[in-house]
Structure 1
């Protein structure tokens, strides 16, 4: 019985769409000539002509009420598309026709002004004057002219930055690690936010002239975080980027005695920056239930952990957590200047009084 009901429903839907297709094929008309449109309207039956008059009266009434609708003349030339639209679709189509008509009028006005200026210049003989051969300049510098320096494309700059960062790594740049093993604790939206922040952090590190050796540890290539990161950096698996991705945890890749986990909710404060330490940043965004996952992991693996001395240099609000890209910028500036006050200039101002 259920199968019979589904079959009858499919037949009804199919017949409905066949009727709509037949009507729309009869009403399909693409000419914009007003005389031809009027001739086409005269070939319709009385019901369809009454519906077109209803559209024209509706547009006239809405124009009197200063709503976004086209003129009656422009509506009539496009009336064939209105026949099968619902009420909401028709209102949206009125708005679209109004914008299209305004754009055409604006372009036509600009073309008329341009033609008048051209005619005035021609009448004044501006184009008849020829410059002497001595005044002709074969090399002119400026916008739209010859340039002293050739254009450097963005891909060339990216390639140079990648090479420079990789060379810094070869010379023994300090290591900065993002722990990406928290993907299964986050929602798809939070994973996408982490991927966005990691992409910005990667760009900040690559642009800096004293960059880190950047490592993404604990990265599961079956996780939502990896899928989101591939959308942000499509060349992450095809080009030699200054980025090292490890499936293993940071405690398995690097010596434990050199790891220092940075997290905001800890009593220990990071007093001084040390180039020999490998600083670990937890790649997690917890908008809802804030669980101390990174602290528990650090205590379980017996890794040193500390927080940045934010309160000593800024008057903080309740939320002291920094984004992943802000932490990267702070660590880059701290490595360069060894000045906490300058480094915290890269933190978001909304977190301070």
Structure 2
């Protein structure tokens, strides 16, 4: 009787665990679907807002010639971004987003990573000197979130493989950017490929990207931004901001000016604090 009771309790416990797993999975699926709907709705609202703004500007113009010029300029800007996307594929300045941190991120953080990659892609299309972007080590969950932004249609290179396994980079001069690196990056060179860790960590993981570079056997370096950031603020940038810092240096050939033009105000050391 005691053996029967023991086995019975064990079976009930396993059933409860399995049921909890199923409920958790169903909740996550619902959460993911709601997030997908939210992304789609935001895109619709943004498109509608741009259309409304365009209409309002046209209404303020007096002559048909002015209206035609405005529409022509608007289409020109859109075409310019498309051309910049094509131009980026020929850029000598290569940036890899290494998405090999799945185990270190929550589901929310992985969704945030997909959003940051999307933001980077959109901003890169506006640059006078666009970067050639690679997104590597894409795993199934991240693929699902990137699909919400239709990333397969983007003018960049995406791959499920680790970047060191891609033929193009086997003999390349790789520099893995890490806020924990000892060496400071002084300049951006055409013959170097820069890797940014695709890691979103609300609670900063010390040495995560540095350990990653050591594990892969590639050189690491940090962006020289410590002197520009508030003393009480973290010395690491998110994925899109780190990449845009590189584009800022290419434009100004000066890290201070690049930082001032790219990084949000909340990061910056106030003039009063610097004195």
Instruction: Mark yes or no: TM-score above 0.5.
Output: yes
Question: Is 1:250 the counterpart of 2:163 in the alignment?
Answer: yes
Equivalent position SS for 2:194? strand
Deviations 1:299-325 (A, max 9, x none): 122101011111244554341111112
- Point out where structure 1 has 5 or more consecutive residues left out of the alignment: 1-140
Quick one: distance in 2 between partners of 1:319 and 1:142? Answer: 46
Quick one: distance in 1 between partners of 2:171 and 2:101? Answer: 19
Quick one: distance in 2 between partners of 1:289 and 1:322? Answer: 11
Counterpart of 1:290 in structure 2 is 205
Quick one: distance in 2 between partners of 1:155 and 1:214? Answer: 25
Quick one: distance in 1 between partners of 2:117 and 2:186? Answer: 26
Counterpart of 1:25 in structure 2 is none
Question: Is 1:167 the counterpart of 2:167 in the alignment?
Answer: no
Counterpart of 2:240 in structure 1 is 325
Counterpart of 2:146 in structure 1 is 229
Alignment check: 8 A CA contact 1:261 1:281 kept:
yes
Question: Is 1:191 the counterpart of 2:106 in the alignment?
Answer: no
Counterpart of 1:349 in structure 2 is 265
One of 96, 101, 113 as aligned partner of 1:182: 101
5 Å matches for 1:306-321? 306-321=221-236
Quick one: distance in 1 between partners of 2:78 and 2:63? Answer: 26
5 Å matches for 1:73-84? none
One of 132, 135, 145 as aligned partner of 1:213: 132
Cα 1:173–1:181 change in 2 (3 A) is same
Question: Is 1:268 the counterpart of 2:183 in the alignment?
Answer: yes
Cα 1:291–1:155 change in 2 (3 A) is farther
Cα 1:227–1:341 change in 2 (3 A) is same
TM superposition shift of 1:287: 1.4
Equivalent position SS for 1:151? helix
TM superposition shift of 1:152: 4.4
Cα 1:142–1:334 change in 2 (3 A) is same
Counterpart of 1:116 in structure 2 is none
- After superposition, the CA RMSD in angstroms is 2.4
Equivalent position SS for 2:113? helix
More contact order relative to length (CA 8 Å, sep ≥ 6): 2
Larger Rg belongs to = 1
Quick one: distance in 2 between partners of 1:289 and 1:311? Answer: 16
Quick one: distance in 2 between partners of 1:146 and 1:167? Answer: 34
One of 151, 170, 176 as aligned partner of 2:71: 151
Deviations 1:97-149 (A, max 9, x none): xxxxxxxxxxxxxxxxxxxxxxxxxxxxxxxxxxxxxxxxxxxx952651331
TM superposition shift of 1:183: 2.5
